[in-house]
Amino acid sequence: MKFGIIGAGATGLAAAYDLSSKGHKVKIYEAADFIGGHASTFQVAGSELEKGYHHWFTNDTDIISLMAEIGLEETIKWFPSSVGTFQDGEIYKFLSPFDLMKYKPLGVIDRIKMGISSLQIRYIKEWQKLESISAKEWLIRNTNIKIYAAFWEPMLRGKFGEENHDKISMAWIWGKMTTRFASRKNIFTKEVLGYPNGSFSHFFGQLAKTCELNSAEIFLSTQIKRIRGSNSGEVLMTIGPQEKEEAFDAVISSTPSHVFNRLAEGLSNEYRSKLLNVKYMAAVLIILVLEYPLSDVYWLNIADRSIPFIGLIEHTNLVGSERYGNTHIVYLSNYLSEDHELYKMDGSELFDSYLPHLKKINPDFTVEWVKEYHHHKIPNAQPVVDTNYGKNIPAHQTGIQNLYLANTSQVYPQDRGTNYSVAMGRKMAHLALSNLKNK
């Protein structure tokens, strides 16, 4: 059988791998000139580095299994992580439950309440009961407004913006926290995170090579112009600048929902409504290559909202600086709507606006530490997971026979990531094959 796949990220390549491994003809179309999607890489200090920070948790079993299948399991290295929060001019580390008792922005009683609420979230089994409750409502009810304002609200504002932060479902917080809890053996041990030798590009390169050895074809810099069904059950795609139409037994699209809405003809009004209901935030990164480390923490949440970025992820505090010529790699992270003033800035403007705030985090910092910096924007990076989100997710089966949608907006209640994208791609390959065999 013949399959068309739109997108050469984790979802598209995983689906292509399974289908091509079974002897089916597969064609993958990618609008960009690179593979890897949101986990694509670029060159820093002679090594590949992700444009947006990435790692794996110990419970990311789908992508770990796929790594093993393509002979890369031994390239995954596991590192103890370190997490902190910057507030009131100080870095507070959260390496164990006892560190919460040192969090000065809250009084002792409030620190205890916050710790109890975290354990409460850990042991919630029926997350569906959280879908209709906003994180703001649940967290204030189960702690208090002071705890929410000091710790949770800055994170939600930074992640989802001023207009969305108070509408985010508590199910999203549950998904985020349970993933992190699962990467610890117990609450008293350090979180352990995985990262592959050779960066994520090694994984995507090997996966693409395996697909091609199975006779799959990958077309980069190739846009799909239109998708439509047919009476025979074949799916027709109009491809590239020549707008050649080609027929496939089934098509799997990993495009963002609003892009799929534009491409696909014949969708029902109800399905289109769900597609257009999905809102996204863009990830905006300034990546610093520094002569000296900025902190001794890998993942630093910025709770001080006078600072214009929400996260400081010091990659080399996880994997070591020797991979990058003993330089230190720091991601300054933001999630922004595309009409935000920071989103519209070019790299030099954004770097200049961030620069004064780095001295707040490390008083010794000077601009002379910066050997180089890079600016990346990743559109459609974070779906806005508001209350009752699960009821409004567009289905994988689009209503057009043999046409499937598989994108990050459909990862729920877990937060999107390469592991869940791989799982979804393989699930779609199985579903498409099953439906064709049963017709």
Rounded-to-integer distance, Cα 146 and Cα 336, Å: 26
pTM: 0.93
* First-to-final CA distance of the chain: 13
CATH code of the region 98-181: 1.10.3110
Please enumerate in sequence order all residues whose Cβ is within 8 A of that of 330, keeping only pairs 6 or more positions apart, or say none: 287, 288, 290, 294, 312, 313, 314, 315, 316
CB–CB of 384/159 below 8 Å?
A: no
The H helix count followed by the E strand count for the chain is 14, 20
Domain positions in the chain are 2-67+199-278+390-438, 98-181
For every one of its 439 residues, what pLDDT tens digit does the chain have, with 9 covering 90 and above?
999 999 999 999 999 999 999 999 999 999 999 999 999 999 998 899 999 999 999 999 999 999 999 999 999 999 999 999 999 899 998 877 778 888 888 899 998 898 888 888 888 889 999 999 999 999 999 999 999 998 899 889 888 988 899 999 999 999 888 876 665 555 556 789 999 998 999 999 999 999 999 999 999 999 999 999 999 999 999 999 999 999 999 999 999 999 999 999 999 999 999 999 999 999 999 999 999 999 999 999 999 889 999 999 999 999 999 999 999 999 999 999 999 999 999 999 999 999 999 999 999 999 999 999 999 999 999 999 999 999 999 999 999 999 999 999 999 988 889 999 999 999 999 999 999 987 6
Alpha helices, DSSP H only, in 43-198? 61-69, 108-122, 135-142, 145-147, 153-160, 170-182
Position 244, amino acid: K
Please enumerate in sequence order all residues whose Cβ is within 8 A of that of 352, keeping only pairs 6 or more positions apart, or say none: none
Tokens of 280: 């996204």
Q: Any idea which architecture 2-67+199-278+390-438 has in CATH?
A: 3-Layer(bba) Sandwich (3.50)
Residues making up the chain, counted from first to last: 439
Rounded-to-integer distance, Cα 375 and Cα 362, Å: 22
